[in-house]
Amino acid sequence: MTKFLKVMALATLLVSSAIAAEYTIKVTHVVSPNTPKGMGADFFAKRVGELTGGKVEVVVFPNSQLYGDGEEMKALKLGNAHIAMPSFSKFTSIVPEMQLFDLPFIFRDKDHLYKVLDGEVGQVLKDKVTAKGFVALDYWDAGFKHLSSNKKAILTPQDAEGQKFRIMSSHVLEAQFKAIGANPQVLPFSEVYSALQQGVVDGAENPLSNFYTKKFNEVQTDLTLSDHGYLGYLVIMSESFWKKFPNDLKPMVLQAMKEATVYERKLAAQDDEEMLTKLKEYAKTSGNLKIHTLTAEQKAVWQKAMEAIYPQFYKVIGEDLIKKVQAVK
Ligand code: LMR
């Protein structure tokens, strides 16, 4: 390279790194950065920067740093944060039909789940969220939930009787625990660790990524791989922010989100196995955690006990919507 070219290259580098972002997108979420949701958000940030040539900067605030449960949606409404990915239960007060996703044993497997999310039912629910003044983007994945406790091994619904379980704010989750004689208690995600540690609640239900990355394994003695319910997210954006956002930059942001969704879902698919390996290792080395698997017969008992709540929610969720999900092959 000639001296002139070297000078030019350096000048270009300096100029491009000196370009300050013209727009900032604030993303808020409540989980660890090293979960599928956390890594998906960081990936989105990186891709927006790349696709807009640094014109748009995405800043991610994980771990309820900026806003916790119940605050995220308000922050989006006020334009104080711009993107959030709340779990479905957190939409209960604005779109009660979203509790469909909380129904125990509603999805047979991930294949069934994705067909529902990306099909007619997923769109119907997105439209309901849009009608409440949000831009509904994509569905992200966390995984199937498992029961844990620091009282005893939970192998049958009777084992859970009388135990206090932390739940997200969802009437379906409340009914699910009441159906097995347990006591549900709504708590924000940021308070779960201390609530388990201090015995405010005995147990919880989480996908393995949240269980491990929030160190719930340190404050629970028993984990049952129950797969009884599902936890996922709808990525939403502040409507007022998006309306004012420059039209020429919108396609890049949407493209980055599309790529982040593919990435996040892939991570979630791999994550369960990795987390289980880590938890097994922890169980072995610490001796403080027992991991229980259920036989098909045991799972069927759980399913029967929990599915009994469906009719209670025919009205609020829509019996037709529930039946549509069940009919998806
Ligand atoms: C929870 O509150 O348990 C979850 O919604 C946390 C999350 O966002 O994964």
Q: Are 103 and 172 in contact (CB under 8 A)?
A: yes
- Return the pLDDT at 14: 45
Q: Are 292 and 225 in contact (CB under 8 A)?
A: yes
- Return the pLDDT at 143: 96
Give me 302's structure tokens: 């759980």
- Return the pLDDT at 20: 83
For residue 15, name the pLDDT band (cuts at 50, 70, 90): very low
**Average pLDDT value over all residues in the chain:** 95
- Return the pLDDT at 17: 47
168 lines ligand 1 (CB under 6 A): yes
Q: Are 25 and 57 in contact (CB under 8 A)?
A: yes
Q: Are strands 83-84 and 56-61 parallel, antiparallel or unpaired?
A: unpaired
Q: The complex's ipTM?
A: 0.98
Task: Tell me the C-alpha distance between 185 and 129, whole Å.
Answer: 26
Mean pLDDT, residues 276-281 taken together: 98
Alpha-carbon torsion (154, 160, 166, 169), positive or negative: positive
Mean pLDDT, residues 142-170 taken together: 97
Among protein residues, the one whose CA lies closest to atom 3 of ligand 1: 189
Cα separations in angstroms, 263 against 17, 82, 212, 248: 27, 21, 20, 25
Q: What is the pLDDT of residues 46-95, one digit of tens each?
A: 999 999 999 999 999 999 999 999 899 999 999 999 999 999 999 999 99
pTM: 0.92
pLDDT of 184 above 80 = yes
Alpha-carbon torsion (241, 246, 252, 258), positive or negative: positive
- Return the pLDDT at 13: 46
Burial readout 54-71 (b: 16 or more C-beta within 10 A, e: otherwise): bbbbbebbbbbebbebeb
Give me 144's structure tokens: 């199937």
Which of 60, 67, 101, 189, when mutated, tests ligand 1's pocket best, judged by the most ligand atoms within 8 Å of its CB? 189
Q: What is the pLDDT of residues 239-262, one digit of tens each?
A: 999 999 999 999 999 999 999 999
30 lines ligand 1 (CB under 6 A): yes
Q: Are 127 and 91 in contact (CB under 8 A)?
A: no
Task: Tell me the C-alpha distance between 41 and 260, whole Å.
Answer: 7
Which of 168, 172, 213, when mutated, tests ligand 1's pocket best, judged by the most ligand atoms within 8 Å of its CB? 168
Task: Tell me the C-alpha distance between 215 and 219, whole Å.
Answer: 8
